Structure 1
Amino acid sequence: MRLSLLVTASSLFSSIFLASMVATPAFADSQSLILHQGSTGAQVQSLQHDLQELGYFPSSVDTTTYFGSITAKAVSDFKTAHHLNASSTVTDQVLSLIERDAKRSAPQPLPIAQQIIAKAKTYLGLPYSWGGTSPSTGFDCSGFTQYVFGQFGISLDRVSQDQATQGNPVASMSDLQTGDLVFFNTSGSYTHVGIYIGNGEFINADDYGIRIDSLYSSYWSTTYEGARNVLS
């Protein structure tokens, strides 16, 4: 009987011991130490960059590959804000949390149409130049549209009459979308082109240079010929 109890106790102890051996590594892995003060390497610089994006690492300080006191404070502040242990050590779970928050806070790129319009507006005030195709020489109307769209890998033909055959036609003025090419009969069919920027306005190179005009003005509304969508 005593031998049986000893065998049973021994088996129970072995089971508990083996279970603890299996469970401990899983817990250790989930909380394993990744970085701490004094650590070096590319992972430290990536950590600093993410903390900088989140406002914990000073933007006035260049990121480095060394985990110093500034990084330690940034980590501690981040952990405090997330109701974690305020130490400066970084476990894999903390690192994942920092990376997740940094990814969420990263600015999203503007839609291509908005990027094109923003680029076009940087040339406001440049003079008109017949045959001009670059900021250094000035632009004519189709040289301007060709150049701006070309900055985003969108190839347009050189003259407005040819650009008027590219992309898809826009049914009516009420269907215009930002980034559409708008065409006018100023000295013949499709002899002027601009870029629609929304709210009834377009940016173009006319005799007065690069400027923004209204489609509803007496001149442009009567010379409007149509539009093309070259972005979809």
Structure 2
Amino acid sequence: MPALTHWHITADLDLFDSPACDRLATQAAAGRQLQILEQQDQAWLVRLAEDDYPGWIPISDRQHLQPASTVYQPSQHDRTAIEAAIPNAIAFAQAAAAQPNTYLWGGCLGPNYDCSGLVQAAFAAQGIWLPRDAWQQEQFCEPLPNWEAAEPGDLIFFGRPDRCTHVALYLGDRAYLHSSGREIGRNGIGIDWLDPSADAVSDRYWQQLRGAGRITRSYQSGSDRFSTWLPS
């Protein structure tokens, strides 16, 4: 198959972090586009069009790809458009929380999500694309001076001093909704609090709080591309 040609995805796909295709990196819904960059063994290295995210798919997934009739062009959304979409983005995340689910590293299609996959999916459902990973979302957002300045629909970031490793969707009144893992979280989607006295999970994440950010625009694939292990 020609490299860098745009392909239309006709069925939901799992993307993996190596040619072995044994560790989930992310997922792509039917209707998205990708480019094939290279082949190794029985896998293709691809890049998703909407968020520039890389991953490997088995060549057997060829049956779920068709040449794209038109090349994906990112839509532009300013802060006004994003503010109008926030209630629906929050409603999407709340509906996801109401379904039986567990935390899934790389999950962004549901019912099982990882933290940044849930945030990305909530806004993508409104036509607003964000970067895929938590650290990318932190860099993409406009930083707020402190978490107290956060409003519903802003993002709350957690992690180590040197890197963001977790993201949540702020609901207001200290509450945030996120998909957290089994080790220190809830093994799925739930509400926790920017209050270390609220419960054990809230306390553990409070210890990792990095700050908050505001989504002021939609991701523009290509021009906004983050440095990754992908060839440029």
Larger radius of gyration: 1
Comparing both chains, which one has the higher relative contact order based on Cα–Cα distances under 8 Å and sequence gaps of 6 or more?
2
TM-score of the two chains, using structure 2 as the length reference = 0.49
Whose strand proportion is higher, 1 or 2?
2
Whose helix proportion is higher, 1 or 2?
1
